[in-house]
Each structure stands twice: as structure tokens, then as C-alpha cells.
Homo-oligomer: A and B are copies of this chain.
Amino acid sequence: MSIHKVEVCFSPVLFPDYENKEANVVIVDVLRATSAIITAFQNGVEKLIPVKTIKEARKLKQKGYMVAAERDGIVLDFADFGNSPFNFTKEKIGNRTIAYSTTNGTMAIHMASKCNKVIIGGFLNISALEEWLISEQRDVIILCAAWKNKFNLEDSVFAGALAERLLKQSSFYTICDSVHGAIDLWKIARTDLVGYIEKAAQRSRLKKNGLDDVIPYCFTEDVTSVIPVLEGEYLVELKNSGN
């Protein structure tokens, strides 16, 4: 049996030093992009277009797409709704193609696009990720979307949680200090995740804008077994994943 390595990359800016075309890459932006994207697929969105800039989001709106877009907690005037996972209800988005504006998440997805498969992860689908990554028997990179390139706690503890699960398998190993660091942070945080995240900068930003109601939800494990995957410019549901 061959064994495969697990790595954690704390910021898209660091990714060129981790890039490995053979690897499956899990993109994580717990608060809130990847949690919202997973929720959208759980609720039946057909395709999702991750976009980085307001200009791109506006262009897609003009083409007729529904658009989720905020800046600094304010829903943009041309958008249909904001970036909270709670906006992605079956009624609004079922069987549609949606554009989701996320600076950090889109950058991470773009950086990883030359790797084997780029999948979208969070606590919401962690067991499905674990199962699929084990079935794949490939190297794994967990790529934290970070905040404007900077390390963040919420993505790091998720990376630790997922890496710990994979490394329980004899088919995975690591020599990556970021994996060890992330697992150690996860071990501190796991007994009270929401409490641990109190000190995170993103927690304060969301609270300031009255958007922190999503935090307990975003740290809930296994709300769904769906895994979004990048295909060209679109995110779609990974076949053989859940649902």
C-alpha cells in the first residue's frame, strides 16, 4: 500500500511552495464562504460561480445570474442577498446557478486550480470529506483561505480537525509543521469551538456588522454529506459524494 502526505497551507500566498499537481486540495473559509457554498449545495443549487471582485459580480448580475455579494457587511445594491449561509435557502437557490462573491475564497480556489481536484470543505461536511479523501488515496493539501492573506484561527482549527482524522489512517503521513500546529490548535479548541473563536479577528468583524449569528452553525459538524468540487469556472456537486 502506498502512503500519501497531508499538508496544511495557512494562506493562499504560501500555496506556491506547497503546490502538488497530484494532490486533492480542500479549500476552507469557515467564516463564511465555504460554509455558505456547502449550504448552497445542500439546498440544491445547481452550479455556483465563485467571483473575487465586485466588478465580476456585477457583470454576472447583468447576465441574469443571482448574486450573493457583500462588502464590509453591507449587501451590495445590485446583489440579490448577502454572503451568510442562511441566505441560501431551497426556495431562493434550488436548481439555479448563483454567483458568490468571496475575495479570500476565490483566490484560494484559483491558486489550487491546477491540482487534481479542488473541493470545498468546512465543519458542515467534514465526515464526507474525510471519507472521500481516504477513498481517493492521494496526497491532500488543506488550503486555508485566510483573511487578506493573513493566517486565521477558524480555518486553522478546521485544518487541524480534518488532518487529525486523515492521519489516523495508516495510508497518510505528514512531515508538515503546519499540520502539527493546526492539530495542536484544534486540540485546544475542540471542546468549545465557539468559545475558542471568541478571540478571532473575523469573529469581531462579523459581530460589528451583526453577522455573527452564523458562528454556531458554521462550527457544526456533518450537517450534510455533499462536497462541492471545482469544474472549470464552476463549483458543482461532486458525484459519489453524499446526498
Contacts and interface: CB of A to CB of B under 8 A. Distances in A.
B200 A178 contact: no
A14 B11 contact: yes
A5 to B, nearest CB: 12
A181 B185 contact: yes
A175 B156 contact: no
A17 B149 CA distance: 7
Contacts of A75: none
Contacts of A204: 175
A17 B148 contact: yes
Contacts of A176: 150, 201
Contacts of A177: 147, 150-153, 156, 200-202
Interface string A1-32: 00000000011011001100000000000000
B151 A10 contact: yes
Contact of A13 (B13, B152, B153, B180): B13
A181 B201 contact: no
Contacts of A148: 17
Contacts of A153: 177, 180-181
Contacts of A150: 14, 17-18, 176-178
A189 to B, nearest CB: 9
A188 interface: yes
A184 interface: yes
A176 B200 CA distance: 8
Nearest to A175: B201
A199 interface: yes
Contacts of A184: 184-185, 188
B178 A181 contact: no
Interface in A167-209: 175-178, 180-181, 184-185, 188, 199-202, 204
Contacts of A180: 153, 199-200
Contacts of A200: 177, 180
A177 B205 CA distance: 13
Interface of A: 10-11, 13-14, 17-18, 147-153, 156, 175-178, 180-181, 184-185, 188, 199-202, 204
- Nearest first, the 5 closest Cβ-Cβ pairs linking A and B are A151-B178, A17-B149, A153-B177, A152-B177, A180-B199
